[in-house]
Each structure stands twice: as structure tokens, then as C-alpha cells.
Amino acid sequence: MTTDIIREDIELLQVIDYPDRFQEWKLLEYEKYLNNKMDVAKYEKLQSGISYKTGRKITVGKGTYKKLKSDLFNKYTCSFDRFSGIIPREYLKQTLRKNLNVDIECYKNETRNLKLYDINYRKNKLTTWKDYIEFEGKKYGTNRSIIDRIHIVRGCGGYVKHTNTETHYGNCRPFYNAPDRSVYTYTCSKCGHNFTTSKWPALFGYKKKWT
């Protein structure tokens, strides 16, 4: 039976991205800040609604608070609202571990992809409809319908003739330039199946004499 042969290419595995993490330089800046106990104390005061300059109560999130906060973080390259609770060195180690896991995963995927690519390549080189390559318990066959002008689908064996060429005229408007395009029709002389393509007929096994 040729019906249980899979014709589609096996889908290759995708590249995996590194997880979203804070950048290293930001963490190192944060560490610098954590090591400056004065600044940490100032920030804690601010967060509890007290000006580190005057000791007066201020409203968190409002004008004075914002001003004092930006003064405080001026010497660092970013403010650290989102970093609270993070231990910089630990976080960076974690990032390395996570990225390494992604690398390992990608390496595995790429190794498998090489195999899958090879199966796809070899199956599509098969020249008859009933030939197949067995891979992990499944059968894979060629995805080509015409080889050397012979319609091979389900072993048809009919000769594929060029039966029509239609020219779709393009245009030459400003900003939109569409060239003329030819659509070729081919017909299997045995089963009557029509194929159309706008690509160069050589893809169908024709030599360049078709113009």
C-alpha cells in the first residue's frame, strides 16, 4: 500500500531563544548600589515616605519623591525598582545556567534536525511513488508529482505535456511595478490531471527550450 506513505516533509525543530533576563551590566550596577549602605538606607527611607534630606514626610510617587529618587539613582545607570529581592551574583549564575540549558536543548534539536533534514532530502530524491524511507516506524515518500515529465503520482506513469501558456500582463505604475507573468499549464496525457505553474517550467522537468 502506498496510501500510508507520508509525503509532507518532516517539520524541523525550532531554534529556542534564551529566556528574558535582566542584563548583566544592570545587575552589576545594582550590586554596586547594594554595597553602598548609605544609598540603600536613603532609598528605604524614601520608600517609607520620608525625605532622606530633611527627614520630613513626603508622598511616595509624587514630585519630591521623584526628584529625590532620581538624585539618588543619578550616579547609577538605572533605577532598581524591579530588582528588589534579587541577589545579583546568584541571579547572574542562574542566567548562565538557564542559557546553558537552552544551548543544550538547541544542540539536541540541531542534531535531530540534521537527521530530519537528511530524511526529507533523501525521500524527495526517490523516483517512484511506491518507494519510501522508513524512519521511526513511519514511511516517508517523495513529494514530487512529476519526474522527467512523467506523472508519478499513484504510479500513473503518464507523459506530462505542455498544453497552454497564458500571459498575465503586468503594469508599470509609479511605486508599483509588476512585470509580465506567464502561467504555464501542463496536462498528464494519461489521467488528464492539469498542473499550472508560474515558475520556470524547468521545475517540472522541462529543459529551457520552452519559451
What is the contact surface with Zn ion in residues (CB under 5 A)? 151, 156, 158, 188, 190-191, 193
Shortest distance in whole angstroms from residue 126 CB to Zn ion: 18
Pick between residue 33 and residue 186 the one whose CB is nearest to Zn ion.
186
Which residue lies nearer to Zn ion by CB, 66 or 190?
190
Nearest approach, Cβ of residue 188 and Zn ion (Å): 3
Residue closer to Zn ion (CB basis): 68 or 152: 152
In the bound complex, what is the minimum distance in angstroms from residue 192's beta carbon to Zn ion? 7
Pick the closer one to Zn ion by CB: 88 or 158. Answer: 158
Find the shortest distance in angstroms from Cβ 21 to Zn ion: 57
Residue 65 exposed, middle or buried by CB count within 10 Å (0-12, 13-18, 19+): middle
Question: Any residues with CB less than 8 A from the CB of 177 and at least 6 apart, and which?
Answer: 170, 171
Could you write out the three-class secondary structure of 22-37?
CCHHHHHHHHHHHHCH
Q: How far is 132 from 99, CA to CA, in rounded Å?
A: 39
